[in-house]
Amino acid sequence: MIAEYDSKYDEQIKNLLVELQNYLIDIDDWHTQVMLPEYKENIFKIDMNKVKKQNGKIYLSIENGIVLGLIIGIVEEKDEIDKLTNDCAKTGSVLELIVKNDIRGNGIGKTLLEKMEEYFKSIGCKRINIEVFGPNKKGLKFYEKNNYIIRDMIVSKKI
């Protein structure tokens, strides 16, 4: 079942955020990803503040009271450079899409993504952006299978 955010699931949401960060740490071949002790509480607060301030939504995939996955989306704010350089169409941004490690590949992520896409369409968004960590090849493949394309890239070099 897909449901809108309910604070009774806060602890499970925080645990999923930690699970995602651990995954990113594991796949980071440069070992730049870390998780400070305050990560669990602070990332939750940061995401929740963005949701409140930027017309966001949180959808949860729940089965028997257990959160199996979540998606957090907001409407992007345009800065001065954006206003000078692009059409500034209303754009949704997915901050987090997480499915429990042991049940990935069962369609939960796709269902959550489709639900967020419906929300963004309903409020007049013309595009959706999702940042994907470079080493996250599985994540990139998932988004490509769901008709997302690479539009921007950051290239990095160790010096």
pLDDT of residue 91 exceeding 90: yes
Question: Does residue 83 have a pLDDT over 80?
Answer: no
CATH of domain 2-145: 3.40.630.30
User: What is the distance between the alpha carbons of residues 119 and 140, in angstroms, rounded to a whole number?
Assistant: 22
Whole-number Å distance between alpha carbons of 111 and 67: 14
**Which residues are bridge partners to 128 per DSSP?**
92
Please say whether the beta carbons of 42 and 33 come within 8 A. no
Q: Are residues 70 and 123 in contact, defined by beta-carbon separation less than 8 angstroms?
A: no
Question: What's the pLDDT tens digit per position in 116-145?
Answer: 999 999 999 999 999 999 999 999 999 999
Looking at the chain, the whole-number percentage of residues with pLDDT higher than 90 is 87
The CA-to-CA distance between both ends of the chain, in Å, stands at 48
Going by pLDDT thresholds of 50, 70 and 90, the confidence category of residue 25 is very high
pLDDT digits (tens, 9 = 90+) for 38-80: 999 999 999 999 999 999 999 999 999 999 999 999 999 888 8
| pTM recorded for the entire structure | 0.93
Structure tokens at 85: 């350089």
Q: How many residues does the chain have?
A: 159
Percent of the chain with pLDDT over 70: 100
Q: What is the mean pLDDT of the chain?
A: 95
Residue 110, pLDDT > 80, answer yes
